[in-house]
Copies of this chain bind each other. A is one copy, B any other.
Amino acid sequence: MNKKAFQDYYPTDFGQCYGCGPFNDHGMKIKSFWTEDEEESYCYFTPKPYHTAVPGIVYGGLIASIIDCHATATAAAAGYRAEGRGMDTDPPLRYVTASLHVNYLKPTPIDTKLKLIGKVKEIKGRKIIITITLSANEEICARGEVVTVQMPDSMITKNK
């Protein structure tokens, strides 16, 4: 499967994010996609052995980071979709996080691939709210809700 991830459409300067930028060589480069029916977005991430909280368990900051990045990517994809156009069309749309909320439900094991599922909860003007579940071995370990806001055109133009 060679379909492009949401992040692969980011203009170059927006591809520098440590969490999800394709051009950040130090970063985690997460990749987000729609499911077949576009009801949900998904993303996988396998933690490094040193992303520990205590041995065997993923530290909370990593969980918050990938929830945040998957949510802003999903917001971008949802923004284009709401305008009825592809992510390769102009003008570019990018969303920044206004608030991030994460509930840690159980310890997240470090030795397995994590799966994130995103859903669009609300689109209202320039604001898009995304909910996320993070699972390991089919068990939900954390839930997130991310309020994103469309980046001002001036900031996008400056960074394009």
Contacts and interface: CB of A to CB of B under 8 A. Distances in A.
Interface stretch (A35-43, A52-60, A82-90): A52-60
A158 to B, nearest CB: 9
**Copies assembled:** 2
A25 interface: yes
A50 B26 contact: yes
Interface stretch (A16-24, A73-81, A114-122): A16-24
Contacts of A96: 53, 60, 104
A159 interface: yes
Interface string A3-25: 00000000001101111010011
**Size band of the A side of the interface?**
35 or more
Contact of A52 (B24, B60, B102): B24
A64 interface: yes
B68 A17 contact: no
A61 B69 contact: yes
A59 B65 CA distance: 9
A43 to B, nearest CB: 14
A132 to B, nearest CB: 13
A27 B54 contact: no
Contacts of A24: 50, 52
Contact of A60 (B55, B60, B97, B104): B97
B17 A53 contact: yes
Contacts of A99: 101-104
Contacts of A127: none
